[in-house]
Structure 1
Amino acid sequence: MRELSDRVSTDSALIDVGSVEAIKERLVSYLIHTVGVDPEFAVARDWLYATASLVRGILSEQYLNTARVEYDQDVRRVYYLSLEFLTGRSLMKNLWSLGLVERVREALKSLDQELDEVAEVEFDAALGNGGLGRLAACFLDSLATHAYPGFGYGIRYEFGMFNQKIENGQQVEHPETWLRYGNPWEFERPAILFPVRFGGHITCFKEESGKTVCHWVDTEDVMAMAYDVPVSGFGSGVVTKLRLWSARATRDFDLDVFNAGSYIDAVKDKTISENLSKVLYPADTTLMGQELRLKQEYFFVSASLQDILARHLRRHHDNLDDLHEKVAIQLNDTHPALAVPELMRLLIDVHGYEFDQAWDITRQTFSYTNHTLLPEALETWSISMLESILPRHLDLIYQINHRFLTEVKRHFPGRPDILGRLSLVDDKARQIRMAHLAVVGSHKVNGVAELHTHLMRQHVFADFAGMMGEKFVNVTNGITQRRWLLQSNTQLAGLISEAIGTDWVTDLSQLHRLEPQATDSAFCERMQAIKRANKERLAALVEARTGVVLDPAAMFDAQVKRIHEYKRQLLNLLHVIVLYNRIKDGNPPAHPRAVLIAGKSAPGYYMAKLIIRLIHDVADVVNNDPAIEDRLKLVFIPNYNVSTAEVVIPGSDLSEQISTAGMEASGTGNMKFALNGALTIGTLDGANIEIKDAVGDENIFICGLTAEEVAEKRTLGYHPWDFYNGNADLKRAVDQIGGGFFCPDDPGRYQPVVDNLLRNGDHYFVMADFASYAETQARVEAAYGDPEAWTRMAVLNVANMGMFSSDRSIHTYAKDIWRIKPLKQA
């Protein structure tokens, strides 16, 4: 990959990185002058910070150039608002983008350091939890790579989600101290500071002109301070930014109270204020947690919008009339939905616009991405809480709702029933529906896979679609091949580049040229060798994390994603138990199998955490039974994150994508696995459908009910007992779980799991899909027994993943939703 990694020119007027010797001199200089460490005594982390300082300087120059071009061309920009940005580690990503991998590797080598070891000590940025944040990170990469003017906004979480530890088989949450050693990539911006207000009350009066003016007064204020993280484009010379907000008190402490001897009370307000940016997703099982989460969401959208307006006014001199012509704001899920009334507040209360003009600007500025079909996941906030914390916004939401329902009445005359369904206000529950607010306040609403968008139109937002169908569009999610192939699977990336050149790095559709290689024995043999090496690397990670030794010759069967009942880790686990029983009965599978599961459960999600414990109890039995030998292993990899994924995904043979049909919006893990040559076993859910269409029915393993069949069973009646009694393997496995076979010290531990499957309706259709899943797994086993055929299928999967790049997603957003164009020069 030397040609690819060095092909981008990064010569700079200020920073010379044109040669290995120049880089070496720079690294030593940064180590001494910035890190403050003697090279004789420097450790890997010191070299990380020295290397990051070098790279950050280059990125800063490129960003300033990008910003000047954007300003001079007065381009329309997109601002991506997301509560999560799961960026992972940045050193290798930026070196690849700048074309400096090999030069920096050689420079460090000459200083007796290994680049891979230096990169390994970097902490993952703990700014997200799962697919939502990973998608946002991919999108920023694609924006910069293709020179689109864009900017990301989020929160600088001090502790991130949590660090998942497994203690006695149970998930235990510990603080994610990712900032323990600081963040070498961020620029602190103490001068970029905006007040964010909470509480208080509204006072309204009429001016002489008859205009009603409202003021939000007696508020408690928190300051939002900016931290900027550069996001590099691959080979484009364009750098955009992720601006993260950190909460600061309006004053550090009350000196009078301090002098009176009450030291704790003196800094109480500071401590409370700064809690807003401490932790991603505070537990919302208590009223205090709910209030903190609501404040967190408003904190970041208020600061972001104030910043966006300030930037616009610097160029357009106190005129916001054309804001929607120069600004596009994307709401990534409902977490930033409060941006709709906040922009209204800023336009009306601060800048003096009339309601109608402000509403017209607002609706043309925002667009909204929906990420879920689960009704319980569609965010709502209680009216009483909004009234207490954001009274002005509640008032504006009521006004927006009144105006919207007037339109509904005109569109659906004589249909009072539809008013309640479309209203932003749920009068019975006394709640505000944030998804409805996002839909009404946006000019476009997109789903993230064809099935998801179809179901969104037909079910979740059916009434809205009946009224404003042109608003709803599809933009299937994508992943960045720079992170998920070029960087994480360099050997496979090199093999692909040898076969078809390197254009695929920025145009993934070029992968279709690999198809003839599926029948080239030399290519397939090299691909098998690369997969074997990746499996050995994964096996080493598993042994280091868990102590379990895996045989790389076994099929590596991976299900790595958030632990949730609809994602059905339980379905996978039931199959593991069935395989275990078959081996015990003298009927072992033809090929050894290692089942790898990883993911975090939300701290308050009892059933998901119980499933994690069940996985560990089953693993203890399976992995320690001498009769099983190495024919079956079950491993839970703790604290799954981006860096772990970069090892798991290239090293897996089989990708488990088995969510209940109609419940997964898209998924992006399915794309990452297929891009790295893993075959998919999955339901017809989310983007699995589009992957199946792309790779062909013969190159994927589809099982289970369709979304239509699931809906039909829900309507006509579903009886999980029928499946339990009709399948001896399934019945035996469920009985073992319920009877304490895997936890003899506490036989009733998993009775809630069995109750959910049999007595509480099996909401996620685990029982109904088990037979199809098991039969499909038998087909997987048979296919794996023919290495040549399996590799041919793997090559065809890789070759047909062109449409699943985040580049394609961004091109679609840019053209159909944001109306932005690439910069003319950078």
Structure 2
Amino acid sequence: MSAIPQSDHDRRKQISVRGIAEFHNVAEVMKTFNRHLHFTLVKDRNVATPRDYYFALAHTVRDHLTGRWIRTQQSWYNKDPKRIYYLSLEYYMGRSLTNTMINLGIQSECDEALYQLGLDIEELEELEEDAGLGNGGLGRLAACFLDSMATVGLAAYGYGIRYEYGIFAQRIKNGEQIEEPDDWLRYGSPWEKARPEFALPVNFYGRVEETPKGKKWVDTQIVFAMPYDNPIPGFKNNVVNTLRLWAAKSPVSFNLRFFNDGDYIQAVLDRTFAENISKVLYPNDNFFEGKELRLKQEYFMVAATLQDIVRRFKASKFGSRDAVRTNFDIFPDKVAIQLNDTHPSLAIPELMRILVDIEGLSWDKAWDVTTRTCAYTNHTVLPEALERWPCSMLDYLLPRHLQIIYEINMQHLQAVEKKWPGDWDRMRRMSLVEEYGEKRINMAHLCIVGSHAVNGVAALHSDILKKEVYDFYEMMPEKFQNKTNGITPRRWLLLCNPGLSDVIAEKIGENWIVHLEELAKLKQFAKDPGFMRAVQTVKAENKMRLATLLNEEYGIQINAASMFDIQVKRIHEYKRQLLNCLHIITLYNRIKRNPTAPFVPRTIMIGYHMAKKIIKLICAVGHVINSDPIVGDKLKVIYLENYRVTLAEKIIPAADLSEQISTAGTEASGTGNMKFMLNGALTIGTLDGANVEMMEEMGRENIFIFGMTVDEVEDLKRRGYNAWDYYNRNPELKQCIDQIQGGFFSPGNPDEFKDIANMLMHHDRFLLFADFDSYIKCQEAVSALYLNQAEWTSKAIMNIASSGKFSSDRTISEYARQIWGVEPCWDKLPDPSESAPLDVKK
């Protein structure tokens, strides 16, 4: 890698929140870097590649983590606090290098050390693979929560699956989505530590046997769960928690049938079937697909995790160092299990199985322990997203668990019958077992019954949740809570937008990094000319940087002075990317009708996976618009290929306008909306999810709200929604649909998008046309305001200053106090350099 020719000043701005690099620390980093290049990677500078340099840097940074990591676990062992276990099938972590340097406070030392070695740290950072072990909001929320749990000093553990292949890499070829495997581990990960000595057995299949001591699950097939530990550092507090991800490993024993047949090779080859469990992440978001492999993944993670939890509970310090804790009465005082949606719902019957079948507790005592330990976060009320597992599949794969679920259901329905005698319809609605059609278990009902707390993820969503499961709410209202989602300000401001972080720090100091509510101090500067200029400069620099990147990636010249209008989220009908597309077509038609009329230039960017026909339409519309010389640089449309955490970190700081346009009542919360707000984009959105609370925080004058409310949506559905009424009433809408249907955007195949037009005209559950007119008028108000940059910037500052509530630190503190019964702590742990670490039980 070549040395960097720029001057010190051009090379990088030493921003204030990074601090000044001290000489002895820089020297130590250089020494450690060279040692790792030599001893860990077995390379010298003559043959080392940029990737070798990345790994040497990552190992150097990890060295700074290791002492803190050991000392943190030692501290939890010695203090014996209540431990928090966050169970999630998804963790959308992104990259770790920069985030780790920031949280450890060693970014400036590493930057300076690599500069002195003639290396570009930003070039090395780009070589890290994203850990894309999630689909979208739910998985990214889990990642933010891990960061916050470490930062507010909780003894917390994340548990999930180490998918060999994460969310697929997306390529767009001729306007169509092509999926490529995300082989994120092909070079290995410098952050994980394999722990084969802690591998645990997980059982499948088999049968249940009655014994004098109770029921026993026998004749099972065993798969081993091997843990890989990933460090999760808090922000400058010396706390390093653990994310433990399980990989499936085949047992050592072979299938004897093959041995008897002498087919040793086949016996070895069959071992791979067990290892398929952790092979690939299911790429479905807000859609339930009942496949046996998915159910296996869910139980695999839960079974391994609960064994680990019980082992750690028993081995905890208790009186003397070697005493084993066997009193399960105190289990809920020492253990909190948070279920991230219904994917880990089998934790409830699995904990019951452990307590009753293995530990010998009575059913009633085990049920009391289980419900006081478990809590459930609901992420959606969309019917197609709800998990309903066929009883036949559960009986085949997990026969003991199905028995336990039936017993839970029987006792639950007895309680319902006692409260509402003879109300058979209510009992049918509240049953965990759905009898109509194929017999299924409703996993959301299992979670509600088996948990002591049930929370939605925004105030509006939590209210809708109570209505959707009103029978349960009426029976046990004390269980239902709201925990509005949040985002970590470390990754989503400090890391991704250092320029803005610096401008803020110069005005109000740095305390906002862990107390985001302090951003409210910026409100007094919303009309301060100097501060407004500084914010405008940072935004312009971020836009220029993104324009350069997109020109390199897509070959499209972007007008960096245009409004960057961005919608990046999973392509799903309820998120209404098609409504955005109709607006794009409307703008195009207006330019074509009157090319000389004043027009506020826009660059509209849409990105994410799935829903291939919608992606193809967006790409086709973009191709027509971007190729039209009459349009020029007034309007550009870009479909962002392979959108992921790392790309989000570049796009969000450059956004002017954030599109949050779901049908009211369908988006549980949203967290992208919070990231854009924190980085000074204005939002155009419906009164849905957390948009409602964002508006409450910043004032309605600082957000563009359009469209129907939840009540108006429900009223329209009751009255009957007829798309033709809107189509015939609005000439611009009619023109858009006619163009889509008539092949205007697909001249080579005029019928290409007929299905989309047909869906919008006849089967649209999400009522796009009903909000079209309101959306277009609101977009006109957006353009008008953009012409007044002073007013726009003032509102952007009000957005930033009103973001404090939406820190995941606040969210996690609420979970801690109101669900888990622990108190957040911002104290620093002792620095590990102060004394040698002692032996510690993991």
Task: Give the TM bin, normalised by the shorter chain.
Answer: over 0.9
Aligned to 1:267: 268
Determine the structure 2 residue equivalent to 1:784.
786
Greater Cα offset, 39-48 or 352-361: 39-48
- Kindly report which structure 2 residues correspond to 1:279-428, keeping only aligned pairs within 5 A, or say none: 279-281=280-282, 290-315=291-316, 316-428=324-436
Aligned with residue 744 of structure 2, among 741, 745, 753 = 741
| Contact 1:197-1:220 at 8 Å conserved across structures | yes
Aligned mates of 1:639, 1:3 — CA distance in 2:
33
Inter-partner Cα distance in structure 1 for 2:722 and 2:632:
38
Query: Deviation of residue 266 (structure 1)?
Result: 2.3
Where does residue 5 of structure 1 map in the other structure?
18
1:288–1:372 CA distance, 2 compared to 1 (3 A): closer
Q: Specify whether residues 284 and 510 from structure 1 end up closer, same or farther in structure 2 by C-alpha distance, changes over 3 A only.
A: closer
Over 3 Å counting, the alpha-carbon distance change for 1:356 and 1:259 in structure 2 is closer
Structure 2 residue 144 is the aligned partner of structure 1 residue 131: no
Q: Partner residue of 1:767?
A: 769
1:686: which partner in 2?
689
Paired residues of 1:424 and 1:433 also in contact (CA < 8 A): yes
Q: Is the 8 A contact 1:28 1:39 kept in 2?
A: no
Q: Counterparts of 2:557 and 2:420 in 1: how far apart (Å)?
A: 64
CA distance in 2, matches of 1:576, 1:285: 26
Q: Is the 8 A contact 2:202 2:224 kept in 1?
A: yes
CA shift at 1:253, angstroms? 5.5
Written as runs of structure 1 = structure 2, the 5 A alignment for 1:389-468 is: 389-429=397-437, 430-458=439-467, 460-468=468-476
Is structure 2 residue 608 aligned with structure 1 residue 599? Answer: yes
Determine which of 566, 569, 573 is the counterpart of 1:561.
569
Separation of aligned partners in 1, 2:339 and 2:37: 41
What SS is found at the alignment partner of 1:650? helix
SS at match of 2:244: strand
Cα distance change on mapping 1:781 and 1:263 into 2, 3 Å: farther
SS of the residue corresponding to residue 227 of structure 1 reads strand
Tell me the CA shift for residue 283 of structure 1: 7.4
- List gaps (5 residues or longer) in structure 2: 1-13, 317-323, 830-842
1:590 partnered with 2:576? no
Q: Report if the CA contact (8 A) 2:290-2:389 is conserved.
A: no
> Which of 196, 201, 212 is the equivalent residue of 1:190?
196
Q: Against the structure 1 CA distance between its residues 188 and 674, is the aligned structure 2 distance closer, same or farther, given a 3 Å change threshold?
A: same
Give the alignment of 1:486-565 within 5 angstroms: 486-565=494-573
Secondary structure of residue in 2 paired with 1:272: helix
- Distance (Å, rounded) in 2 between the aligned partners of 1:589 and 1:345: 69
Contact 1:556 1:652 in 2 (8 A): yes
Q: Is residue 2:647 matched to residue 1:644?
A: yes
Question: How far 1:471 moved relative to its partner?
Answer: 0.5
Q: Would you say 1:202 and 2:205 are equivalent positions? A: no
* CA displacement, residues 509-541 of structure 1 (integer Å, 9 cap, x when unaligned): 000000121111111111111111101111122
Give the superposition deviation at 1:286: 14
> Which residue in the other structure is 2:112 paired with?
106
| Matched AA of 1:166 | I
1:37: which partner in 2?
Answer: 43
Aligned CA distance change for structure 1 residues 283 and 446 (closer, same or farther; 3 Å): closer
Mapped contact 1:4–1:99 kept (Cα < 8 A): no
Structure 1 stretch displaced more, 549-558 or 257-266: 257-266
- Secondary structure class of the residue paired with 1:372: coil
Distance 1:558 1:477 in 2: 21
Correspondence for 1:278: 279
Shift of residue 206, structure 1, vs aligned partner: 3.7
Equivalent residue of 1:126, what SS? strand
1:669 equivalent in structure 2: 672
Q: Is the 8 A contact 1:222 1:250 kept in 2?
A: yes
Instruction: Please report how far the alpha carbon of residue 41 of structure 1 lies from its aligned counterpart in structure 2 after TM superposition.
Output: 2.8
**Structural RMSD (CA):** 1.9
What CA distance in whole angstroms lies between the structure 1 residues aligned with 2:670 and 2:645? Answer: 15
Q: Secondary structure at the match of 1:37?
A: coil
Aligned residues: 806
| Partner in structure 2 of residue 635 of structure 1 | 638
TM-score (norm 2): 0.93
SS in 1 for 2:797: helix
1:150 correspondence with 2:156: yes
Tell me which amino acid in the other structure corresponds to 2:243.
Answer: L
SS at match of 2:133: coil
Q: 2:96 aligns with which of 77, 90, 93?
A: 90
Map 1:40-51; keep pairs closer than 5 Å.
40-51=46-57
Where 1:781 maps in the other structure, the secondary structure is helix
Structure 1 pair 254–399 and aligned structure 2 pair: CA distance change class (3 A)? closer
Q: Distance in 2 between matches of 1:703 and 1:224?
A: 49
The 1-side partners of 2:759 and 2:288 are apart by: 28
Q: What is the identity, as a one-letter code, of the residue corresponding to 1:100?
A: I
1:355-401, CA deviations, whole angstroms, 9 ceiling, x for partnerless residues?
11111100000000000010111111001111110111000000000
| Residue type at the aligned position of 2:547 | A
**Displacement, 1:759?**
1.6
On the 8 A contact 2:563/2:603 being kept in 1, the answer is: yes
Task: Give the deviation of 1:713 after TM superposition.
Answer: 1.1
Range that drifts further, 729-738 or 406-415: 406-415
Change (3 A) 1:489 1:252: farther
Moved more, 303-312 or 288-297: 288-297
Deviation at residue 619 of structure 1 after TM alignment: 0.8
Instruction: Give CA-to-partner distance per residue, 1:452-489, whole Å, 9 cap, x none.
Output: 0000011x211100111110000100000100000000
Any conservation in 1 of the 2:223–2:251 contact (CA below 8 Å)? yes
Letter in 2 for 1:765: L
Range with bigger deviation, 815-824 or 265-274: 815-824
SS across alignment from 1:594: strand
1:794 aligns with 2:760: no
Alpha-carbon distance in structure 1 between the residues aligned to 2:126 and 2:736: 41
SS at match of 1:748: coil
Q: Distance in 2 between matches of 1:204 and 1:282?
A: 40
The answer on whether the counterparts of 2:377 and 2:455 sit within 8 Å (CA) in structure 1 is yes
Q: Which residue of 2 aligns with 1:176?
A: 182
Contact 1:545–1:637 at 8 Å: present in 2 too? no
SS at match of 1:694: helix
Partner deviation per Cα, 1:715-764 (whole Å, 9 max, x = no partner): 1211111111110000000010011110111111111111111122x210
Please identify, of 247-256 and 501-510, the stretch whose mean Cα deviation from structure 2 is larger: 247-256
Name stretches of at least 5 consecutive residues in structure 1 with no aligned partner: 10-16, 208-212, 602-607
- Aligned partner of 2:6 in structure 1 is none
Match of 2:716 in 1: 713
Please point out which of 815, 821, 835 is paired with 1:813.
815
Q: Secondary structure at the match of 1:618?
A: helix
Q: Identity of counterpart residues, as a percentage?
A: 50
* Distance in 2 between residues matched to 1:420 and 1:531, nearest whole Å: 56
| Structure 2 SS opposite 1:19 | helix
Name the residue aligned to 1:12: none
Given residue 445 of structure 1, which amino acid in structure 2 is its aligned partner?
V
CA displacement at 1:685 relative to structure 2: 0.2
| Alpha-carbon distance change, 501 to 285 in structure 1, aligned in 2, over 3 angstroms | closer
- The C-alpha deviation readout for 1:626-685, integer Å capped at 9, x for no partner, is 111111111001111000000110011000000010000000000000100000000000
What does residue 11 of structure 2 align with?
A: none
Q: For residues 594 and 522 of structure 1, what CA distance do their matches in structure 2 show?
A: 28
Whole-Å separation in 2 of the counterparts to 1:283 and 1:387: 25
Q: Secondary structure at the match of 1:635?
A: strand
- What corresponds to 2:489 in structure 1? 481
1:257 Cα shift?
Answer: 4.9
Q: Does the 8 Å contact 1:596/1:635 carry over to 2?
A: yes
**CA 1:360/1:259 → structure 2, altered by over 3 Å: closer, same or farther?**
closer
Deviations 1:685-719 (A, max 9, x none): 00000001111111100011111111111112111
* Cα distance between partner residues in 1 of 2:269 and 2:598: 62
Q: Following the alignment from structure 1 to structure 2, what is the Cα–Cα distance between the partners of residues 550 and 683?
A: 28
| Inter-partner Cα distance in structure 2 for 1:353 and 1:365 | 15
Cα drift, residue 251 of structure 1: 2.2
Q: CA deviation at 1:779?
A: 0.2
